[in-house]
Amino acid sequence: MSLPDANAILDLMEAFRRSKVMFAAVSFGVFDRLERGPADAASLLPEADPGAAERLLDACVSLGLLTRKERRYANTPQASAYLCRESEHTLAGYILYSDRVLFPLWSHLEDAVREGSNRWRQTFGFEGDLFSHFFKTPEAQRDFLLGVHGLGKLSSPAVAAAFDLSRFGRLADVGGATGHLAAAVRRRYPRIEAVVFDLPAVVSFARTLQPDRSIEFLSGDFFRDALPAADLYVLGRILHDWGEAEARTLLEKIHAALPAGGGLLLAEKLLAEDHTGPISAQMQSINMLVCTDGRERSLEEYRRLLEGVGFVDVRGKRTGAPLDAVFARKS
Q: Would the pTM count as exceeding 0.75?
A: yes
pLDDT level of residue 253 (50, 70, 90 thresholds): very high
What average pLDDT does range 3-8 have in this prediction? 95
Host domain of residue 269: 120-330
Q: Which of 108, 133, 180, 240 is catalytic?
A: 240
Same domain? 76 vs 124: no
pLDDT tens per residue across span 82-131:
999 989 899 999 999 899 989 999 999 999 999 999 999 999 887 655 56
User: Among 6-10, 92-96, 283-287, where is mean pLDDT lowest?
Assistant: 92-96
Q: What is the mean pLDDT of residues 4-17?
A: 96
Judgement on whether residues 167 and 315 belong to the same structural domain of the protein: yes
The Cα 132–Cα 141 span in angstroms is: 9
How many residues appear in the chain? 331
Same domain, 196 and 321: yes
32, 64, 82: which is the final residue of a domain?
Answer: 82
User: Is pLDDT larger for residue 296 or for residue 129?
Assistant: 296
Q: Please tell me whether residues 263 and 174 are part of one structural domain.
A: yes
Residues 147 and 267 in one domain: yes
Q: pLDDT for 204-220, tens place per residue?
A: 888 888 888 899 999 99
Asked if 35 and 75 touch (Cβ cutoff 8 Å), the reply is yes
Is 89 within the bounds of a domain?
no
**Tens digit of pLDDT for each residue in 157-184?**
999 999 999 999 999 999 999 999 999 9
How would residue 80 be classed by pLDDT, with cut points 50, 70 and 90?
Answer: very high
Cα dihedral 246, 249, 250, 251 in deg (nearest 10): 120
Cβ atoms of 135 and 141 within 8 Å: the answer is yes
Evaluate if residue 58 carries a pLDDT over 80.
yes
Task: Quickly state the pLDDT bin for 133 (edges 50, 70, 90).
Answer: low
Q: Does 91 reside within a domain?
A: no
User: What pLDDT score does 127 carry?
Assistant: 63
- Condensed to tens digits (0 to 9), the pLDDT of residues 303-330 reads 999 999 999 999 999 999 999 999 999 9
Radius of gyration of the chain (CA): 21
The reply to whether 255 belongs to the active site is no
Q: Do 29 and 152 reside in the same domain of the chain?
A: no
SS3 content of the chain, % helix, strand, coil (to 5): 50, 15, 35
